Amino acid sequence: MTLGTVIMTGAAGRIGSAVREALREEAGRLVLLDRVPLRAQAPNEEVRAVDLLDAKAVEVALAGADAVLHLGGVSDEAPLPDLLEGNVLGTHHVLEAARRIGGVRVVLASSNRVTGFHPAAHHIGPRDPVRPDGLYGVSKVAVEALGRLYADKFGLSVICLRIGSFEREPSEPRHLSTWLSPRDAVGYFRAALAAPPTPGFAAVYAVSANSRRFWELPEASVLDYTPVDDAEEYAARVSGAPFPADDSTPQAGRFAEPGFTLRHIRP
């Protein structure tokens, strides 16, 4: 299987660095974008220093793309102006460039934090209402809204992956529900990038096959990937109190605490 020309933003980040090797094995051409310097590691890799706030530079960088994996942006709670600039405006520039190019599958990195205030007792899916657990979650709600807008209004093919706790292995009790293993992350990204660029929008949870997971796995008709790893295999090595403390605890855990956001609100 070849993925053709794949453009990956945020290629120097944690997830980008982890999936880069797997994607270059299947992409005819892998173009890696980031603000920080990168070095090509294979003949089919190209690296470019691009600021996603520069709309023209983004359009030039996406030229010739068959698929775009958009991982760039602010990756955790931060002041809202920073999140709006890094996540929302940057995503707008990627989608607008894809619209101008045409025929491109766009995969957007969303987050499980768009629904973090749902109680841990609830098993939820993409049809449930968003309940962001902080400003970061709000910015990812806006990212998903932009993706849906560009699919509905301009006929783009957009899939949003609501990424779980991406870790080498679970390290805290909440991860037993939310863990996304590196192997499953690659599987989700590969499946999303390989899907035909049929106009439309979908949001799915990218989470491993954890016995305690909060979220529905994707239907094969939406995203043809079945995760294989289960955080339960590591449960004996995860120390700390069980999570959740009670069924009404938000799925986001500590991310839903007021102090987690208040320290990022500027006076």
Amino acid, single-letter form, for residue 203: A
Instruction: Report d(CA 16, CA 20) in Å as an integer.
Output: 6
Identify the active-site residue in 136, 150, 188, 205. Answer: 136
3-state DSSP assignment of residue 84: helix
Instruction: Report d(CA 103, CA 112) in Å as an integer.
Output: 28
Residue 205 catalytic?
Answer: no
Q: How many CA atoms lie within 13 A of 144 on its CB side?
A: 25
> Could you tell me which of 233, 202, 53, 210 has the C-alpha nearest to residue 127?
202
Query: 65 and 7 in contact (C-beta within 8 Å)?
Result: yes
3-state DSSP assignment of residue 20: helix
Q: How many CA atoms lie within 13 A of 27 on its CB side?
A: 28
Instruction: Report d(CA 52, CA 65) in Å as an integer.
Output: 16
Measured CA to CA in angstroms, residue 160 lies from 48, 99, 105 at distances of 24, 16, 11
Q: Just list the catalytic residues.
A: 136
